[in-house]
Amino acid sequence: MLASISHNGETYRIDFSKPLDISISLRGDDKNPQAWYLKHPEIKPVRDGKFVGKVTEGASVNFNNIWFNPHAHATHTECVGHITPENENLQQLLKTFFFKAVLISVEPQKKGSDLVITKKSIEKIKNIDAQALVIRCLPNYIGKISKIHSHSNWPYLEEEAAVFIRENGIKHLLIDQPSVDKENDEGKLLAHKAFWNYPKNTRFDATITELIYVPNKIEDGDYFLNLQPASFENDAAPCKPVLYKILK
């Protein structure tokens, strides 16, 4: 289905029948990505006395309980409530879900024992006409959809780069790592705070989406993004971000 979208006075054409899914599906086993030292998610049938919520065990329906943590196990979108003492939640703060976006591939730079996404490595976004930025870290490989990130010291965004992203008008930042910050940063959360401009002039309508996966077949460039987190009254919620190509 073709549609015309207006953005900043320009009209773009996209095809809604050709979505490019950049989320990671949640699984109930150890093939699911894991971070923050938690075990894998569980998807198990309800058991109550003789009742087992599974058709193959005699029930009329499949009826599962699901245990997971959005920050540790799933592609998730978070709001500033992730780092504030106030009970800010994503459901209240994110009111629109469709944005002009740019996808860039970045090779994190070695700094000591760390891999860092620097301001210099993302300078191509200067003055871009987009509300969302999608960062694909290189090298990129299918194993990201089942990677155990705990104790891996994953690549992260330096504070200066997060400021640069904010100053270039990006409201929605997406990355294929469990966090924009260093795994063990002593609770500083420099990139989160810089992107949200917290606490000086907090951007309550800005979001960070982590643990995405962008297949190599999706080329760098301009897209429209549908960012549609589940309706959780929480600082973060599972999300299925989808890109749409802009037609010539």
pLDDT of residue 222: 97
Residues 173, 141: Cα–Cα separation, whole Å: 21
Report DSSP state, residue 5: E
Q: What is residue 104's predicted lDDT score, i.e. its pLDDT?
A: 98
Q: What is the pLDDT of residue 168?
A: 97
What is the reported pLDDT for 23?
Answer: 98
CB atoms within 10 A of CB 60: 7
Q: In this predicted structure, what is the pLDDT of residue 134?
A: 98
Give the whole-angstrom CA distance, residue 128 versus residue 130.
6
| Per-residue model confidence (pLDDT) at position 10 | 87
| pLDDT reported for residue 9 | 86
Catalogue all structural domains in the chain, each as residue range(s) with its CATH number. 2-25+70-247 (3.50.30.50)
Decide if 179 contacts 149 (C-beta within 8 A): no
Block means of pLDDT (10 residues each) for the chain, length 248 residues?
86 95 97 98 97 97 98 98 95 96 98 97 94 98 97 98 98 98 97 97 98 98 97 97 94
The contacts of residue 50 (CB under 8 Å, 6+ apart) are none
- The residue type of 152 is S
For residue 56, the SS3 value is helix
DSSP state of 38: -
Query: Please, are residues 19 and 244 in contact by the beta-carbon 8 Å criterion?
Result: yes
Rounded-to-integer distance, Cα 19 and Cα 206, Å: 23
